[in-house]
Amino acid sequence: MLNLRSPLGLLTKFSAQSSQRLIHSSAIRANQSGSLFGDITQVTESPKQKGDFSDSLQTVNEKFDINKVTIENDEKLQQYIGHKPTSAVDKLLTPLKKQLYQLNVNQNGFFKNNQIVTMDGEQYKLKLTQEEIDVLEPSLYVKSYRIKGSVKKATVFLRFIRNMNVKQAITQGQFHSKKIGREVSKLLSDSLKTAPELKLNPDQLYISQIWSGSDGTFVKRVDPKGRGRTGIIHHPYIHVRVILKTPVTLKRLAWEREQKEELRKPRVQLHDEKLRFKVEGHYKW
């Protein structure tokens, strides 16, 4: 085997019997198509897809319409963002349980557990756990992005607005001394825009649950000090989660308190038990 040097690089000659064709750089200059093998290979341009979004950006004569691609008609963007907001009743319950649940709510104004409902001349009783009732009631779950702050400082404000009307909490957050107040007010303002999609009245929503937690690792920074010493400053980031509910939940909670009060035994000072001390015939003041 013999190696020969050419202007295009290293060529290998295997034997004297095999036919060899030397390639020169002058052939490439003469070839207008730019192909390495001359007229043997024809360069064809790949056909462009019609209606491609990238073509409309690269064309010079055609003006690009910014309304051509929107959030609603972009299928790939919709897959990345996720599904549209849907109620838990339509998502979790079977068709029969869904009908019984809606009949119970329409009859009582809220869901009463273990209540008999008549449908098509037959009586049914739907029993749900406390967790299932909380999930199925009209609610709105909202979560924030990373917020610079600490959980300890945020909890002071979050406890203050708990069980408060959403619009009243937004007003409190805008004028609060803590920075987390303005971030939470922005989060609650965005949640009011999503409420009509779930057929919820923004004026009647209240904060049922709100909490915060650490969001990832802390960002560290060098803190220079005197006499050649240094320290480390930790910048914490947190997230805020909110569950908003309607007056339907308040009606159910009030009804459950009444039922619990009715089932409570009467309070007596002396229980129905034997006395473990000696009863004397006179009082000791």
pLDDT at 66 > cutoff 60? yes
Contact 234, 218 (CB under 8 A): yes
Q: Whole domain around residue 20: which residue ranges?
A: 1-46
pLDDT at 36 > cutoff 70? no
pLDDT greater at residue 217 or residue 106: 106
Is 76 within a domain?
A: no
Query: How high is the pLDDT of residue 71?
Result: 72
Is 118 within a domain?
A: yes
Mean pLDDT lowest for which of 6-10, 134-138, 163-167, 247-251? 6-10
Number of domains in the chain: 3
The closest alpha carbon to 88, from 128, 42, 119, belongs to 128
Is 52 within a domain?
A: no
Query: How many CB atoms are closer than 10 A to CB 70?
Result: 9
Are 126 and 149 within one domain? no
Average pLDDT value over all residues in the chain: 80
Mean pLDDT of all residues in 172-186: 95
Per DSSP (E only), the strands in 7-132 are 9-13, 116-119, 122-125
pLDDT at 64 > cutoff 60? no
Query: How high is the pLDDT of residue 131?
Result: 94
- Give the C-alpha separation, 115 to 49, whole Å: 61
Query: How high is the pLDDT of residue 265?
Result: 84
Mean pLDDT of all residues in 100-115: 93
Mean pLDDT of all residues in 85-92: 86
pLDDT at 122 > cutoff 70? yes
Is 218 within a domain?
A: yes
- Give the C-alpha separation, 149 to 184, whole Å: 12
Query: How high is the pLDDT of residue 21?
Result: 47
- Give the C-alpha separation, 207 to 35, whole Å: 70
Query: How high is the pLDDT of residue 169?
Result: 97
Query: How high is the pLDDT of residue 220?
Result: 93
- Give the C-alpha separation, 215 to 179, whole Å: 17
Are 130 and 144 within one domain? no
Query: How high is the pLDDT of residue 19?
Result: 45
Are 183 and 145 within one domain? yes
Mean pLDDT of all residues in 245-259: 95
Is 3 within a domain?
A: yes
pLDDT at 154 > cutoff 50? yes
pLDDT at 72 > cutoff 90? no
Mean pLDDT of all residues in 180-200: 94
Mean pLDDT of all residues in 162-168: 96
Are 162 and 122 within one domain? no
pLDDT at 40 > cutoff 60? no
Query: How high is the pLDDT of residue 258?
Result: 95
pLDDT at 15 > cutoff 70? no
CATH number at residue 205: 3.90.470.10
Predicted TM-score of the model (pTM): 0.65
Three-state DSSP at 208 gives: strand
Confidence class of residue 7 from pLDDT cuts 50, 70 and 90? very low
Are 235 and 145 within one domain? yes
Are 22 and 92 within one domain? no
Are 154 and 211 within one domain? yes
Is 30 within a domain?
A: yes
Are 183 and 206 within one domain? yes
Is 59 within a domain?
A: no
